[in-house]
Amino acid sequence: MRASLIQIAVHDGESVASRRSRVAELVREQSGSDLVVLPELWPVGAFAYELFETEAEPVDGPTRAVMAEAARDAGVWLHAGSIVERAGDGSLYNTALVLSPEGELAATYRKIHRFGFDQGEAVMMAAGDSLTTVPLPGQDLTLGLATCYDLRFPELFRGLVDNGATAFVVPAGWPARRRAHWTLLNRARAVEDQAYVLACCSAGTHAGVEQAGHSLVVDPWGEVLAEAGPGEEVLTVDLDPKKIPETREAFPALKDRMLGLRR
Protein backbone atom coordinates (compact mmCIF):
# COMPACT_ATOMS: atom_id res chain seq x y z
CA MET A 1 0.00 0.00 0.00
CA ARG A 2 1.36 3.40 -0.96
CA ALA A 3 0.71 6.47 1.21
CA SER A 4 1.53 10.08 0.46
CA LEU A 5 1.68 12.79 3.13
CA ILE A 6 1.39 16.31 1.73
CA GLN A 7 3.22 18.68 4.07
CA ILE A 8 1.48 21.92 3.12
CA ALA A 9 3.10 25.30 3.69
CA VAL A 10 0.56 27.49 5.46
CA HIS A 11 1.33 31.22 5.31
CA ASP A 12 -0.77 34.25 6.21
CA GLY A 13 -0.53 35.79 2.75
CA GLU A 14 -2.48 33.06 0.95
CA SER A 15 -6.28 33.14 1.00
CA VAL A 16 -8.27 30.12 2.13
CA ALA A 17 -9.86 29.75 -1.30
CA SER A 18 -6.50 29.90 -3.07
CA ARG A 19 -5.01 27.34 -0.71
CA ARG A 20 -7.92 24.97 -1.27
CA SER A 21 -7.40 25.11 -5.02
CA ARG A 22 -3.64 24.68 -4.72
CA VAL A 23 -3.92 21.72 -2.36
CA ALA A 24 -6.52 20.05 -4.57
CA GLU A 25 -3.99 20.02 -7.40
CA LEU A 26 -1.37 18.54 -5.10
CA VAL A 27 -3.81 15.76 -4.20
CA ARG A 28 -4.51 15.06 -7.87
CA GLU A 29 -0.77 14.65 -8.46
CA GLN A 30 -0.75 11.67 -6.04
CA SER A 31 -2.85 9.43 -8.29
CA GLY A 32 -0.36 6.57 -7.92
CA SER A 33 -0.97 6.37 -4.17
CA ASP A 34 -3.66 4.49 -2.27
CA LEU A 35 -3.92 6.95 0.64
CA VAL A 36 -3.17 10.67 0.80
CA VAL A 37 -2.96 12.62 4.07
CA LEU A 38 -3.14 16.39 4.68
CA PRO A 39 -2.28 18.40 7.84
CA GLU A 40 -4.51 19.78 10.58
CA LEU A 41 -6.56 22.94 9.87
CA TRP A 42 -4.56 23.66 6.73
CA PRO A 43 -7.28 25.86 5.16
CA VAL A 44 -6.95 28.50 7.90
CA GLY A 45 -3.87 27.59 9.94
CA ALA A 46 -3.97 25.84 13.30
CA PHE A 47 -2.98 28.97 15.23
CA ALA A 48 -4.94 31.53 13.18
CA TYR A 49 -7.62 31.80 15.86
CA GLU A 50 -8.96 35.07 14.47
CA LEU A 51 -10.12 33.19 11.36
CA PHE A 52 -11.94 30.37 13.12
CA GLU A 53 -15.31 32.14 13.31
CA THR A 54 -15.25 33.69 9.86
CA GLU A 55 -13.92 30.62 8.02
CA ALA A 56 -15.87 27.94 9.90
CA GLU A 57 -17.88 25.68 7.60
CA PRO A 58 -20.20 22.69 7.87
CA VAL A 59 -18.88 19.22 7.14
CA ASP A 60 -20.48 19.41 3.69
CA GLY A 61 -18.97 22.85 3.04
CA PRO A 62 -16.45 24.08 0.45
CA THR A 63 -13.41 22.19 1.72
CA ARG A 64 -15.20 18.86 1.53
CA ALA A 65 -16.52 19.67 -1.94
CA VAL A 66 -13.10 20.60 -3.34
CA MET A 67 -11.32 17.70 -1.64
CA ALA A 68 -13.98 15.18 -2.69
CA GLU A 69 -13.47 16.12 -6.32
CA ALA A 70 -9.69 15.87 -5.94
CA ALA A 71 -9.94 12.44 -4.26
CA ARG A 72 -12.23 11.22 -7.03
CA ASP A 73 -9.94 12.55 -9.76
CA ALA A 74 -6.88 10.92 -8.18
CA GLY A 75 -8.71 7.72 -7.24
CA VAL A 76 -7.30 7.78 -3.69
CA TRP A 77 -8.47 7.50 -0.13
CA LEU A 78 -8.00 11.01 1.23
CA HIS A 79 -7.59 12.00 4.85
CA ALA A 80 -8.27 15.66 4.15
CA GLY A 81 -6.69 16.93 7.34
CA SER A 82 -9.14 18.90 9.43
CA ILE A 83 -11.40 21.92 9.12
CA VAL A 84 -13.02 24.36 11.52
CA GLU A 85 -16.46 22.78 11.54
CA ARG A 86 -19.54 24.80 12.48
CA ALA A 87 -22.11 22.37 13.83
CA GLY A 88 -25.86 22.83 13.59
CA ASP A 89 -26.02 24.35 17.07
CA GLY A 90 -23.32 26.89 16.21
CA SER A 91 -20.51 25.13 18.10
CA LEU A 92 -17.10 24.93 16.47
CA TYR A 93 -15.10 21.69 16.23
CA ASN A 94 -11.69 20.73 14.85
CA THR A 95 -13.01 18.04 12.52
CA ALA A 96 -11.09 15.62 10.33
CA LEU A 97 -12.62 14.35 7.07
CA VAL A 98 -11.88 11.04 5.36
CA LEU A 99 -13.02 10.64 1.75
CA SER A 100 -13.22 7.51 -0.36
CA PRO A 101 -11.74 7.16 -3.87
CA GLU A 102 -15.26 7.87 -5.14
CA GLY A 103 -15.29 11.19 -3.28
CA GLU A 104 -17.80 10.01 -0.68
CA LEU A 105 -17.46 11.01 2.97
CA ALA A 106 -16.31 7.82 4.72
CA ALA A 107 -15.72 9.20 8.23
CA THR A 108 -15.32 12.27 10.39
CA TYR A 109 -13.43 12.73 13.64
CA ARG A 110 -13.89 15.64 16.02
CA LYS A 111 -10.65 16.29 17.89
CA ILE A 112 -11.01 15.21 21.49
CA HIS A 113 -8.05 16.97 23.13
CA ARG A 114 -8.04 20.70 22.41
CA PHE A 115 -4.79 22.62 22.73
CA GLY A 116 -4.39 25.97 24.44
CA PHE A 117 -4.50 25.67 28.24
CA ASP A 118 -7.71 27.72 28.56
CA GLN A 119 -6.87 29.83 25.51
CA GLY A 120 -7.31 29.59 21.74
CA GLU A 121 -8.63 26.27 20.50
CA ALA A 122 -9.31 25.07 24.06
CA VAL A 123 -11.97 27.74 24.62
CA MET A 124 -13.11 28.44 21.05
CA MET A 125 -13.90 24.85 20.09
CA ALA A 126 -15.99 22.08 21.60
CA ALA A 127 -14.43 18.68 22.28
CA GLY A 128 -15.25 15.56 20.33
CA ASP A 129 -16.34 12.53 22.30
CA SER A 130 -16.02 9.55 19.93
CA LEU A 131 -13.18 7.39 18.68
CA THR A 132 -13.07 6.87 14.92
CA THR A 133 -11.60 4.00 12.93
CA VAL A 134 -11.79 3.54 9.16
CA PRO A 135 -11.24 0.14 7.51
CA LEU A 136 -9.69 0.46 4.04
CA PRO A 137 -11.30 -2.16 1.79
CA GLY A 138 -8.79 -4.27 -0.07
CA GLN A 139 -5.82 -2.91 1.89
CA ASP A 140 -6.01 -5.08 5.04
CA LEU A 141 -5.53 -1.93 7.08
CA THR A 142 -7.74 -0.05 9.54
CA LEU A 143 -6.98 3.60 10.20
CA GLY A 144 -7.33 5.07 13.68
CA LEU A 145 -7.85 8.84 13.63
CA ALA A 146 -6.18 11.32 15.96
CA THR A 147 -5.24 14.98 15.59
CA CYS A 148 -2.14 16.86 16.76
CA TYR A 149 -2.42 17.42 20.56
CA ASP A 150 -4.12 14.00 20.84
CA LEU A 151 -0.58 12.58 20.52
CA ARG A 152 0.08 13.43 24.15
CA PHE A 153 -2.71 11.14 25.38
CA PRO A 154 -1.75 7.48 24.82
CA GLU A 155 -5.04 6.17 26.19
CA LEU A 156 -6.78 7.47 23.07
CA PHE A 157 -4.50 5.36 20.88
CA ARG A 158 -5.03 2.28 23.03
CA GLY A 159 -8.76 2.80 22.57
CA LEU A 160 -8.26 2.93 18.82
CA VAL A 161 -6.25 -0.32 18.93
CA ASP A 162 -9.06 -1.95 20.92
CA ASN A 163 -11.40 -0.83 18.12
CA GLY A 164 -9.24 -2.52 15.49
CA ALA A 165 -6.80 0.18 14.38
CA THR A 166 -3.60 -1.04 12.76
CA ALA A 167 -2.36 2.36 11.54
CA PHE A 168 -2.77 5.82 13.04
CA VAL A 169 -3.20 8.90 10.90
CA VAL A 170 -2.21 12.08 12.74
CA PRO A 171 -2.65 15.42 10.96
CA ALA A 172 -1.07 18.28 12.89
CA GLY A 173 -0.17 21.93 13.09
CA TRP A 174 2.68 21.27 15.53
CA PRO A 175 4.91 24.25 16.41
CA ALA A 176 8.60 24.11 15.47
CA ARG A 177 9.70 24.97 19.01
CA ARG A 178 8.48 21.55 20.19
CA ARG A 179 9.58 19.49 17.19
CA ALA A 180 11.58 17.09 19.37
CA HIS A 181 8.34 16.09 21.12
CA TRP A 182 6.63 15.62 17.75
CA THR A 183 9.15 13.00 16.66
CA LEU A 184 9.35 11.34 20.07
CA LEU A 185 5.59 11.01 20.57
CA ASN A 186 4.90 9.64 17.10
CA ARG A 187 7.55 6.97 17.57
CA ALA A 188 6.26 6.16 21.04
CA ARG A 189 2.69 5.67 19.81
CA ALA A 190 3.97 3.31 17.10
CA VAL A 191 6.09 1.26 19.52
CA GLU A 192 3.57 0.91 22.32
CA ASP A 193 0.66 0.08 20.01
CA GLN A 194 2.63 -1.87 17.40
CA ALA A 195 1.02 0.06 14.57
CA TYR A 196 2.05 2.27 11.70
CA VAL A 197 1.92 6.02 12.34
CA LEU A 198 1.40 8.44 9.46
CA ALA A 199 1.95 11.89 10.93
CA CYS A 200 1.42 14.86 8.60
CA CYS A 201 2.37 18.30 9.91
CA SER A 202 2.09 21.66 8.19
CA ALA A 203 5.08 23.79 7.23
CA GLY A 204 5.49 27.55 6.98
CA THR A 205 4.60 30.26 9.52
CA HIS A 206 1.15 31.57 10.26
CA ALA A 207 -0.19 33.79 13.05
CA GLY A 208 3.44 34.22 14.10
CA VAL A 209 3.90 30.51 14.82
CA GLU A 210 6.55 28.61 12.87
CA GLN A 211 5.39 25.09 12.05
CA ALA A 212 7.48 22.00 12.71
CA GLY A 213 7.14 20.31 9.33
CA HIS A 214 9.08 17.04 9.50
CA SER A 215 6.11 14.84 8.72
CA LEU A 216 7.03 11.21 9.24
CA VAL A 217 5.97 7.62 8.77
CA VAL A 218 6.86 5.17 11.55
CA ASP A 219 6.59 1.39 11.37
CA PRO A 220 5.24 -0.91 14.14
CA TRP A 221 8.76 -1.37 15.58
CA GLY A 222 9.18 2.39 15.94
CA GLU A 223 11.54 2.76 13.00
CA VAL A 224 11.17 5.97 10.98
CA LEU A 225 10.61 4.87 7.39
CA ALA A 226 10.63 8.40 5.98
CA GLU A 227 10.75 11.96 7.27
CA ALA A 228 10.20 15.26 5.53
CA GLY A 229 12.23 18.43 5.96
CA PRO A 230 10.98 21.81 7.22
CA GLY A 231 9.35 23.08 4.00
CA GLU A 232 6.47 22.10 1.75
CA GLU A 233 7.04 18.54 0.59
CA VAL A 234 5.29 15.33 -0.43
CA LEU A 235 6.42 12.26 1.49
CA THR A 236 5.56 8.94 -0.22
CA VAL A 237 6.09 5.57 1.45
CA ASP A 238 5.15 1.97 0.68
CA LEU A 239 3.61 0.18 3.67
CA ASP A 240 3.31 -3.56 4.25
CA PRO A 241 0.09 -4.27 6.20
CA LYS A 242 1.36 -7.77 7.03
CA LYS A 243 4.05 -6.21 9.20
CA ILE A 244 1.50 -5.30 11.88
CA PRO A 245 0.33 -8.84 12.78
CA GLU A 246 3.88 -10.11 12.34
CA THR A 247 5.16 -7.57 14.86
CA ARG A 248 2.36 -8.26 17.33
CA GLU A 249 3.01 -12.00 17.10
CA ALA A 250 6.79 -11.72 17.36
CA PHE A 251 6.59 -9.44 20.42
CA PRO A 252 3.11 -9.92 21.89
CA ALA A 253 3.24 -7.12 24.47
CA LEU A 254 -0.36 -6.03 23.86
CA LYS A 255 -1.54 -9.38 25.22
CA ASP A 256 0.05 -8.58 28.60
CA ARG A 257 -1.97 -5.44 29.28
CA MET A 258 -3.38 -5.43 32.79
CA LEU A 259 -5.10 -2.04 33.05
CA GLY A 260 -7.88 -0.40 31.11
CA LEU A 261 -10.96 -1.67 29.35
CA ARG A 262 -10.83 -4.18 26.52
CA ARG A 263 -13.67 -4.11 24.04
**Do residues 42 and 5 touch, judged by C-beta distance below 8 A?**
no
Which residues have CB under 8 Å from 175's CB, separation 6+? 47, 209, 210, 211, 212
CA 211, CA 46: separation in Å to the nearest integer?
Answer: 9
CA 185, CA 179: separation in Å to the nearest integer?
Answer: 10
Helix (H, G, I), strand (E, B) or coil at 91: coil
Q: What is the reported pLDDT for 191?
A: 98
Show the low-confidence residues of the chain (pLDDT under 70).
260-263
CA 156, CA 119: separation in Å to the nearest integer?
Answer: 22
Q: What is the reported pLDDT for 260?
A: 62
Using one digit for the tens of pLDDT, what is the confidence trace for 35-67? 999 999 999 999 999 999 999 999 999 999 999
Which residues have CB under 8 Å from 116's CB, separation 6+? 122, 123
The CA–CA distances, whole Å, from 14 to 42, 90, 231 equal 11, 27, 16
pTM for the model = 0.96
Sheet arrangement for strand 233-238: 105-110, 92-99, 77-86, 35-37, 2-7, 233-238
DSSP 128: P
Residues known to be catalytic:
40, 111, 148
Q: What is the reported pLDDT for 258?
A: 86
Q: What is the reported pLDDT for 262?
A: 55
Q: What is the reported pLDDT for 226?
A: 98
Alpha helices in the chain (DSSP H): 16-28, 52-55, 62-74, 121-124, 154-162, 179-193, 243-250
